[in-house]
Amino acid sequence: MTPSMRPALHGLPLLCLLLLTACQPQAPAAWSGYVEGDYVYVAAPVAGTLTRLAVTQGQTVGAGAPLFQLDDVAARAARAQADAQVQAARAQAANGQTGLRAPQIAVSRAQLAQAHAAATLADAELLRQRSLVTQGFISQSQLDNAATAARQAHDKVSELEAALKTAEQPTARPAELAAAQANTVAAQEAQAQAAWREQQARQSAPAAGLIADTFFREGEYVGAGQPVVSLLPPDHRKARFYVPEAEVGQLQVGQPVSLGCDGCGAPIAARISRIAPQAEYTPPVIYSNSQRSKLVFLVEARPGPADTLKLHPGQPLDVRPVAGASR
């Protein structure tokens, strides 16, 4: 062997190692992402003061568990008024059919009960308006209107008390009977609406899950539709990751992927549930030297029911395609 051949022979093992490495299959690069939760924001369609908050942050609740309750004094008074209106309408319809004096008197009594319920409602509303004026939520003119309504309600009670003493049986006519029956139907609809409003002051968990946050404290005023509690059901956790636009064409909904995260142990199996139809630039939360200023597509994947609780919203993820699955 000549001396000129020795350097070439010394570099031969390194060349063979490089060629062998190039022939080995390379592990697919991970896509950067994070865990996101689809929260359920529980609110009441009616307004009122929060009188009871039955849950705390971090608590796990079952479906149907009580969450919170608003002040329902006005709702209960409205329900009582609606019940009295139904009784009055039914009695009036029965009086038109029988033509007897007793049903007519029952109508007057039911109307008087209705007036008492309306007066109770007006008093409750006046008390609530006074509290809201003190807290600066409403103006003095609104309080004056509530006071006027309360006086009128009590005047109506006095009027019906006098009318009950002098109740006379009228001659029933077909038109009057039809009107009484229509009034009964209308009163029943109002009764159902009042019962619904009373029920909506108490809200329960629509599904089992984790109480992620509470937004009000007991004693605070909650507007209609304002969320009081946010709930995170187990199956509402998902992976969101970003795939370069050169690779997204090889993905499809339903394709399996594996999720890796710190402290998760073995990779978590998941399936792609959504591929965004429009590209975007790499979000700042996952900027890196290799990804910066690249066009990517947002992709979402959901794990199986047994693995959802291993994921926590905001947790960074490395997402890889499953070996043997189409990319």
Token output for 307: 């693995």
Three-class DSSP category at 185: helix
CA distances from 187 to 140, 183, 248, 257, 300 (A): 33, 6, 60, 59, 51
Are 62 and 208 in a shared domain? yes
Q: Indicate whether 66 and 208 sit together in one domain.
A: yes
Residues 302, 244 share a domain: yes
Instruction: Assess contact for 273 and 300: CB atoms under 8 A.
Output: yes
Alpha-carbon distance of 110 to 125, in angstroms, equals 22
Measure Cα distances from 158 to 113, 116, 165 in Å: 12, 10, 11
Helix axes 73-98, 174-200, angle to 10 degrees: 160
Mean pLDDT split into 10-residue runs, the chain, 327 residues: 49 43 51 93 93 95 95 81 82 65 75 85 83 77 80 84 64 67 82 84 94 95 94 94 88 93 88 90 61 77 91 92 67
Cβ contacts of residue 63 below 8 Å, gap of 6+? 205, 206, 207, 208
If asked whether residues 62 and 101 sit together in one domain, one would say: no
Secondary structure of residue 230 in the 3-state scheme? strand
Is residue 13 assigned to a domain?
Answer: no
Host domain of residue 141: 73-199
d(CA 133, CA 145) in angstroms, rounded, equals: 13
What strand order describes the sheet that includes 221-222?
202-204, 66-70, 48-53, 221-222
Instruction: Indicate the number of domains in the chain.
Output: 3
The CATH code of the domain that includes 66 is 2.40.50.100
What pLDDT does 326 receive? 53
pTM of the predicted model over 0.85: no
Q: pLDDT value at position 142?
A: 80
Do residues 276 and 134 both lie within one domain? no
CATH number of the domain bearing residue 264: 2.40.30.170
Token digits of residue 263? 């402290």
Residues 294 and 227 in one domain: no
**What residue type is assigned to position 74 of the chain?**
A
Q: Could you identify the residue written with the tokens 């007519």?
A: 104
What pLDDT is recorded for position 15?
Answer: 42
Q: What is the pLDDT of residue 114?
A: 86
The alpha carbons of the chain give a radius of gyration, in whole angstroms, of 35
